[in-house]
Structures are given as C-alpha cells and as structure tokens.
Amino acid sequence: MNRLLSATGSALARYLSAPSHCAPVRPPSNLQQLKAGIRPGDVLLVEGRSRFSSAIKYLTHSVWSHAALYVGPLEGSVPQDEDSPCFVEADVMEGVRAVGFAEFAGYNVRLCRPIALRTDDIPHVVAEARGRIGHRYDLRNIIDLLRYLLPTPPVPGRWRRRMLALGSGDPTRAICSSLIAHSFQAVHYPILPRIEASRFDDANCTACQREQWHIRHSSLFVPADFDLSPYFAIVKPEADAALDYRALPWASVQGTEHAMARQDGVSARLDIRG
C-alpha cells in the first residue's frame, strides 16, 4: 500500500509541477540588480507558472505562488556564480533544498526584507532554514497534493486559505512559505500575528486591557503574507535613484497619443455596451 501511495503521489506531483497555460502578470525581473541588493534574511517571492502555482494564486488571491529565503552563499560555493546555492526553498519533488539565482531566471520576483530584525537574530533564522535542507515531502499523503489538483476549486473565499493547511501539517510537507515562516518564528519575529485584547485587573486599574500576541501555525502562511505583512518592507533593487526619466527612449509623443486615443475609444465602446 505504501508503494502504491508513493507512486500515485509522485505521479500527481509531476503533473502539478508541469507548466500551466496561465501567462504571468508581469515581465521577468532583473536578477543582476536583485543580486546587488539582496541580504541574508530577505524573502524572495516568485510568480510561478506551474499548475501548483495556478492553484496557490487562486487560493491566496495573489500573483505570488512561491517563496525562498536568501541565506547567502553556502560553504564551498562561489559567491558570483548564479548556480551556486544561496537560497533555501521547499519543492514538492525535491523537498527542502538550496538553489542559486539561476533557479529564478525568467520569473517575476519581489524582495521582502524584515524590518528591524536584529543583526544577531539573522544567523538564527538562516540556520533554522539551512537545518531543514534535505527534508522531503511524504508523497504518500495524497491529500496534500489533491488540494492543488483543481486550480480554481469552487469554495468560498474565507475557506481558501484553510485548504492550504489540509493534510499532515508536518512542516516538511508544507508549502514553501511554511518553511520560511517557521524560521522567522523561531526567533519570535512577527509576520502576521494574531493580536487579541486580554482583560486584567490590578490595584490601580479595574477591567484594564492589554494586547497579547499569538503565533499562528506555520502551515497557515502563504507567500503573499510576506508581501502583506507590515513587518516586511518591499525592496526594489531595480529602482534607480539616479533615474533620468527625460532621457528614456520614449516613443514619439504623437504616435503614443494616437495609440492611447484608439485604446480609450475601444474602452469607451466596451463601457457603453456593458
């Protein structure tokens, strides 16, 4: 039975890892600029193209379907080599692994940086992620894969995130963002904590309230949470502070205005018909 489940799980994983027909929303990012501005502890969000990615995008209402943690060059690797491992990610076929910049070539990515993460805590976050390299998905747990089989399952929006937490709940079998969330929560760094107001009494205050923060289970996190979190800053290495926008090679003003007028005319006709 175990061999049958493993074979079925492997077949499902291969099918879901294949490219989907959904086109990416934005063009690929410049990896050279990304490499110049990235730091250990940064989270890289990726707009994937697989069937897995299509399901995750739908379930999370976001274009970000994958996440990887930048841990810096691993021992024995060449820092300038794009294939040298410097990210830790969770892959359904390969498990938790270390990859280089080349893994994300041709993809649209976003860089999220933890705000005010203490310098002495960064090595702990990195070590937590590195320590899981080699962990693999248990492909016998078919329910972990069936949740992605339908790219757009007919479920209410409030239940979609919960669908990602179905299955074993084991961090080694969870999606990529769970691995990263676990690494940050190991040093009690917040991502999207649950905050409650608790009541307490003392001699000077009756029925007073104070905030109490709760860590959410790592299996409930999705890649988009690092984008939405107020504790992570969006970093855009490709943004050039010395940009001379007047020197950009714009198309002729007349041609651009003519094209925009035609587009506005089409939009206006569609609005009238709608």
Mean pLDDT over 202-219 rounds to 63
Q: Which pLDDT band holds residue 206 (cuts at 50, 70, 90)?
A: low
10/14 Cα distance (integer angstroms): 6
Look at 18-32, 59-73, 153-167, 198-212 and tell me which has the smallest mean pLDDT: 153-167
Over the stretch 76-96, which tens digit does the pLDDT of each residue have? 666 556 678 999 998 888 889
pLDDT at 246: 83
Over the stretch 230-248, which tens digit does the pLDDT of each residue have? 999 999 877 666 778 888 8
Q: Which pLDDT band holds residue 262 (cuts at 50, 70, 90)?
A: low
Strand (E) or helix (H) holding 198: strand 194-200
Between the alpha carbon of residue 146 and those of residues 9, 11, 16, 92, 243, the distances in Å are 9, 12, 10, 13, 48
Domains annotated on the chain, with CATH: 2-243 (3.90.1720.10)
Mean pLDDT over 172-195 rounds to 81
Over the stretch 15-67, which tens digit does the pLDDT of each residue have? 777 776 666 667 778 888 888 889 999 999 999 888 777 777 877 788 898 99
Amino acid making up residue 110:
R
What is the percent of the chain with per-residue pLDDT over 70, rounded to a whole number? 61
Sign of the alpha-carbon torsion through 31, 37, 40, 41: negative
Q: Which pLDDT band holds residue 183 (cuts at 50, 70, 90)?
A: very high
Burial (Cβ within 10 Å: 0-12, 13-18, ≥19) of residue 256: exposed
